[in-house]
Amino acid sequence: MADLLHVQVSYDEEAHVWWGESDDLPGLATEAPTLDGLMDRVLDVAPELLALNRPDLQAAAVEFHSIMQDFHRIRQLQTAR
């Protein structure tokens, strides 16, 4: 069974970027211009962060779930673009 890590996702309207961080994976704090880009970035940096900060977990057995802040506002932003 895979370990589940949560990523809090929000949109920074001033910087026009998606932002993600995780209390479950120390060091994870990244951004990207699109939501898909953000999730790609999380998956890119996760193996190294897991090795450094969560050696108890195997990178291949980890699932990430995103938790969106201000979901309704984010939905409006996605629809408008």
For the chain, domains (ranges, CATH) are 3-80 (3.30.2390.10)
- pLDDT tier at 63, thresholds 50, 70, 90: confident
Could you report the per-residue pLDDT of 1-57, keeping only the tens digit for each?
678 889 999 988 889 999 999 999 999 999 999 999 999 999 999 889 989 998 888
Residue 68: what pLDDT?
79
Amino acid at site 10: S
pLDDT: is 28 or 69 the higher one?
Answer: 28
- pLDDT at position 81 over 80: no
pTM of the full predicted structure?
Answer: 0.75
Sheet containing strand 62-68, strands side by side: 29-32, 17-21, 3-12, 62-68
